[in-house]
Structure 1
Amino acid sequence: MDAVSKVYGKGSGAVAALREVSVGIPQGTFAAVMGPSGSGKSTFLHCAAGLDVPTSGSVRLGGTELSGMDETALTALRRRQVGFVFQSFNLVSSLTVLENITLPLLLAGARVDRAWLAEIVRRVGLEGRTGHRPAQLSGGQQQRVALARALVTRPQVVFGDEPTGALDTMTARDVLVLLREIVSGLGQTVVMVTHDPVAASYADTVLYLADGQIVDSMAAPTADKIAERMTRLGAWK
């Protein structure tokens, strides 16, 4: 991401959600993005993932420059190269676990790599559950399905938008351990927006956003250090 700005509205009513943001996230690393409400976290995620188009600046995903792509090309790129995990799981209730996981491949018209599918089902701990429907699963299991779905296309980046926000503390920890493992074990790149210092402590790097700008970053974070830094952003309640 190079000098990315995003402005909503025009004239006197214009609001800058991002202001000249430049950051690179190395492949095979886990980055957490934190900041107060209204700091630009969601806009950052949407621009980085090709869900929203910056007003100015450029975004690269892997070796692909997103600027100038039309919506059709961006949709195709997201289906192939981006995985998403949301707070609300976003599973299709009428589909089985296996059907939910392979849905991105179906939408992209891509072949299912059976060996890879078996590997991610095993890694996320859903063996024996693949014929279940989401309503038969716990929240933590549903988020594991969502994570497997995000990984099935072998994306360049998995983006998480508060992926543990709807989970209890113990279940959230299981999902965070899993995210950590897919970075360390599979070399996956993960970018996660979170408000939780404990969740962010599983990342390699924490990026702090305030007023649409990256104001700090922290390597080798701990929950205590993150919480203390958030206090000085004026964000921590």
Structure 2
Amino acid sequence: MFGHVRPAETRESGEALRLDGVRKIYGVEGNRVVALDGVSLSLPAGSFTAVMGPSGSGKSTLLQCAAGLDRPTEGRVFVDGAELSGGGEAALTRFRRERIGFVFQQFNLLPTLDVMQNTVLPLKLAGRKVDRALARDVLGRVGLGDRLDHLPAELSGGQQQRVAIARALVTRPRVVFADEPTGALDTRSARAVLELLRGSVRTFGQTVVMVTHDPVAASFADSVLYLADGRIVGHQAAPTAETVAERMTRLADEVERQRATAGA
């Protein structure tokens, strides 16, 4: 699962995401915070990976650097075989629109646009042809085929998050990054959203990388990456809610012990 892949091998190996020695440091000398400390990973295409760790472990920073929303201080990031560097901010924005999808805890829907309009908005922003038949199909798959002309205010929280997922899928991205996508949802809506994310992997061949604090949410993934203090400290295949919860408890205890020792 981990390790380095030479750039020329990336597409042939079916690799969707790779980080090589990524460090992210905030602040200035004397007041620096190392959010990521030499993270290297490789995720295959068509996989669903959950990223977990104690508070302050670097989960969200990892997601932001991997998605090109933040630039690493050191290291390299590859999405779909292309490195996220050079070309300026405009080129990076274009790349994100073409190959990356985003689902956040906040739905970020425009209140004056209906479901269909919100879903196809990324295509319009990217100057791409709007395929309404595809959009209707995706919205049908997420259970909103009869809500196309509804405004966000007319939808439940779970339905709004489904629109956000449809919006992320309609551009046919190589990788979908989800940051606590079920954090604002009730249990039933959360399960439906997680089923949709898992279904996007199975049906559309998408690669999903999801940051979560919830062991139940993580159990929907194929595997879990564990972070602590900016480093990958574990990997678990075929997770269950019980095994994830147990591992997170052990990891949190270990981090507390290490921090207490360091501060002594």
Q: TM-score range by the shorter chain?
A: over 0.9
| Structure 1: 4+ residue segments shifted above 4 A | none
Which residue of 1 is the match for residue 73 of structure 2?
Answer: 55
Q: 2:138 aligns with which of 109, 115, 120?
A: 120
Give the counterpart letter for 1:118 in structure 2.
Answer: R
Distance 1:191 1:32 in 2: 6
Which residue of 1 is the match for residue 85 of structure 2?
Answer: 67
Q: Secondary structure at the match of 1:23?
A: strand
> More deviation in 110-119 or 24-33?
110-119
Q: Secondary structure at the match of 2:227?
A: strand
Note the residue ranges of structure 1 that are not aligned, 5 or more in a row: none
Q: How many residues align structurally?
A: 237
Higher alpha-carbon Rg: 2
Distance 2:88 2:221 in 1: 32
Contact 2:49 2:210 in 1 (8 A): yes
Q: Secondary structure at the match of 2:43?
A: coil
Taking structure 2 as the reference length, what is the TM-score of the superposition?
0.87
Alpha carbons of structure 1 residues 69 and 228: separation in structure 2 relative to 1, 3 Å: farther
Q: 1:99 aligns with which of 92, 107, 117?
A: 117
Alpha carbons of structure 1 residues 69 and 206: separation in structure 2 relative to 1, 3 Å: farther
Q: Does 2:193 align with 1:193?
A: no
Question: In percent, how many aligned pairs have the same letter?
Answer: 64
* C-alpha displacement of 1:68: 2.6
* C-alpha displacement of 1:9: 1.3
Distance 2:88 2:36 in 1: 21
Which residue of 2 is the match for residue 6 of structure 1?
Answer: 24
Distance 2:70 2:155 in 1: 32
Q: 1:88 aligns with which of 100, 106, 114?
A: 106
Contact 2:49 2:225 in 1 (8 A): yes
Q: 1:139 aligns with which of 154, 157, 174?
A: 157
* C-alpha displacement of 1:19: 0.4
Distance 1:209 1:62 in 2: 23
* C-alpha displacement of 1:118: 2.4
Distance 1:41 1:234 in 2: 14
Taking structure 1 as the reference length, what is the TM-score of the superposition?
0.97
* C-alpha displacement of 1:69: 3.8
Please provide the CA RMSD for this pair.
1.4
Q: Secondary structure at the match of 2:42?
A: coil
Distance 1:100 1:113 in 2: 13
Distance 1:68 1:14 in 2: 26
